[in-house]
Structure 1
Amino acid sequence: MLRVALAPTPARPWAAAAVEAGGAQLVDPPEAEVLIFMAPDDTDGLARALKEAPDAKWVQLPWAGIEAFVTAGVLDPSRTWTCGKGVYAEPVAEHALALALAGLRDLPQRIRATTWEAQGGVSLYDGKATILGGGGITECLLQLLRPMRTEVTVVRRETTVSLNGAARVVGPDLLHDALGTADAVFLALALTPETTGIIDAAALRAMEPHAWLVNVARGAHVVTDDLVRALTEGWIGGAGLDVTDPEPLPDGHRLWSLPNCIITPHTANSQEMGLPLLAKRVTENLRRYAAGEPLVGLVDLDAGY
């Protein structure tokens, strides 16, 4: 029976149940073949857990975003690493589309209105969208946009891989071209040194004046001061942000008061939504590992995600 350790301790009951459902046995770290680490940003805690479980050849991390561990240099290349890639894709994609539709249909303005206003709004039916990133959230967004006949351009590092539902897949060198045709721009990519600040003043100026920017990835993808200026001066139609830089967004920050900015407090995937999905991933990967099958959510250490 596969021997698995959970960290940090005390382990949450759902995690222990997921291990048992995967046909594995819970053991102390020194005996473990597998380490499941459930603290998303505790780099020191992960370093301690790795020392306590020297024979763990595979480590499962909880969230898709692992930049804190990458920056801290604790991802040992002698081990196999998996993370929450794709686990939360469906609720996050749902939230992203909700933000885009709310913005394009002028809902922030309508909610605040106290008089009957002129008609307006933009439909994504037969419209155009650009998605930055090629992972699970993008795949789910493509599924959601397909019934609307939205023409979708995906911007990603690897352009040779086709994505079902995408009209085209282009590299980062064509980012500004892809931004310039979209009614909605979705950020669903990993945070790396190359993607930090990818949406800056030049990118925002490349967008259509009516277009909405939706960020459900990481706040640092966007240069916040540039976004504030873009929203204030009307370079773009608006922004729907589930993540911000800084995060949490401080009280009194300019973004809070802008009428064309919707902010949700990193709730595209809440704990209530996410934990059952994470438990299923842990169980699935344990069964795969025991059977010698490929694991889901493998981390590319060279790419950093």
Structure 2
Amino acid sequence: MEARIAIAPSAEVGQAYGRANSPDIDHLRSEIEKAVAAGGGANVPLDEANSLVWLIPGEPEQLRQALDDHPGIGWVQFPWAGVEKFAPSGLFRRPAVFTCAKGSFAGQVAEHALMLTLACLRSVVRQARTPRWHAVDPRSLHGLRVTILGGGGIAAELVRILQPFGCRIRVIRRRDEKVEGAEETLPPTALHATLPETDVLVVALALTPETRHVIGAAELAALPPQAVVVNVARGAHIQTDALAEALRAGRISAAGLDVTDPEPLPEGHPLWNDPRALITSHCADSAEYVLRMLCERVERNVHRLREGLPLEGVIDPATGY
């Protein structure tokens, strides 16, 4: 079918939304326009479009209005992997196909998860904050028991890059398809039985009402005291106060967080000063990488739309991701 693609925000929408069309936005639009053309599509105004690339974060009602005003739009592409701000609105149950960037950024995010894991095991934060010779016995990742919450692209890539470490890897996911390279793929109901046998817990799943605070005080207490907790998904997966208390009480050994709840953490929060907590600023993937991966996803999906093939990254209305 013909692929006529609009991109929002336009310069006018961006100004009305309160987000100045900075060079970054202009560059993003320009590169997406090139991706649309490379996929064989046409870049058109919204009134002429049958598809839409939506770049305005956290505004489901604005998107709903755009779709109400343009009922001919049958495909909407989001540039993010997580769409939890849109799922509760019911938008995904409309008669259109919604796709996101899930899986696109897995390479760099999995790499970041590995970095956080190694840094936690080797007490890098404590070493860096101690302004003197400070010998700390390191722990090796080799042969450790790793549990990954989530079975998407990040989990699959992390399992792959963990192979040289000879880890015993379990993946907990909603679907029952086995993740290649993992010793076991288990359902969410197996979480509590798995935690006591976990040395490294990596959170890498979509944020939904069911997974919000999936790791709280009870789950942290079930981990062995040498366990490391790593979160590269969304901050709200973990109860922040419970995590801070588990670290303070020595119920877990360290935490590596690329995401927090709230985000960013306020100045003076106990986690900032805890030498067992390594916090990065939701920066697991670089701007250049995100742009490149997103444009490749858009180009492939435009081509697939024209050829009548299934699109990549389709959002399941039932699960919201």
- 1:129-278 correspondence to structure 2 within 5 Å: 129-159=146-176, 161-278=177-294
Residue identity in the other structure for 2:280: T
Q: Distance in 2 between matches of 1:299 and 1:285?
A: 14
> How far apart are 1:119 and its partner, in Å?
4.4
Contact 1:15 1:279 in 2 (8 A): yes
- Secondary structure of 2:142's aligned partner: coil
C-alpha distance after superposition, 1:78-117 (max 9, x if no partner): 1111101101111111111100100001111111233434
Q: Distance in 2 between matches of 1:116 and 1:257?
A: 20
Partner of 2:40: 23
Residue identity in the other structure for 2:227: A
- Secondary structure of 2:262's aligned partner: coil
Q: Give the direction of change, closer, same or farther, for the CA distance of 1:38–1:78 in structure 2 (3 Å limit).
A: same
Contact 1:59 1:79 in 2 (8 A): yes
Q: Distance in 2 between matches of 1:112 and 1:150?
A: 29
> How far apart are 1:76 and its partner, in Å?
4.0
User: Greater shift after overlay, 285-294 or 48-57?
Assistant: 48-57
User: Greater shift after overlay, 191-200 or 66-75?
Assistant: 66-75
Q: Distance in 2 between matches of 1:40 and 1:63?
A: 9
Contact 2:246 2:252 in 1 (8 A): yes
Contact 1:89 1:137 in 2 (8 A): yes
C-alpha distance after superposition, 1:141-163 (max 9, x if no partner): 0111011111100011122x011
- Secondary structure of 2:85's aligned partner: helix
Q: Distance in 2 between matches of 1:75 and 1:299?
A: 7
Q: Percent identity?
A: 45
Alignment TM-score, normalising by the size of structure 1 = 0.96
> How far apart are 1:177 and its partner, in Å?
2.2
Q: Distance in 2 between matches of 1:120 and 1:65?
A: 38
> How far apart are 1:64 and its partner, in Å?
1.0
Q: Distance in 2 between matches of 1:32 and 1:128?
A: 50
Contact 1:124 1:183 in 2 (8 A): no
Alignment TM-score, normalising by the size of structure 2 = 0.91
> How far apart are 1:28 and its partner, in Å?
1.7
C-alpha distance after superposition, 1:254-304 (max 9, x if no partner): 111111101111101232321111011100111111111121111001011
C-alpha distance after superposition, 1:181-219 (max 9, x if no partner): 222110000111111111001100111211110101111
- Secondary structure of 2:86's aligned partner: helix
Contact 1:130 1:153 in 2 (8 A): yes
Q: Distance in 1 between matches of 2:248 and 2:37?
A: 53
1:14 to 31, 40, 49: 31
Runs of at least 5 residues in structure 1 that lack an aligned partner in the other structure = none
- Secondary structure of 1:202's aligned partner: helix
Q: Distance in 1 between matches of 2:281 and 2:120?
A: 17
Q: Distance in 1 between matches of 2:46 and 2:299?
A: 19
- Secondary structure of 1:68's aligned partner: coil
- 1:105-116 correspondence to structure 2 within 5 Å: 105-116=122-133
Contact 1:30 1:55 in 2 (8 A): no
Q: Distance in 1 between matches of 2:172 and 2:88?
A: 24
Contact 2:104 2:293 in 1 (8 A): yes
Q: List structure 1 runs of 4+ shifted beyond 6 angstroms.
A: none
C-alpha distance after superposition, 1:21-61 (max 9, x if no partner): 11100112222111111223222332232234310111111
- 1:31-70 correspondence to structure 2 within 5 Å: 31-70=48-87
User: Greater shift after overlay, 67-76 or 287-296?
Assistant: 67-76
Q: Distance in 2 between matches of 1:119 and 1:30?
A: 63
Residue identity in the other structure for 2:82: G
Contact 2:304 2:310 in 1 (8 A): yes
Contact 1:135 1:189 in 2 (8 A): yes
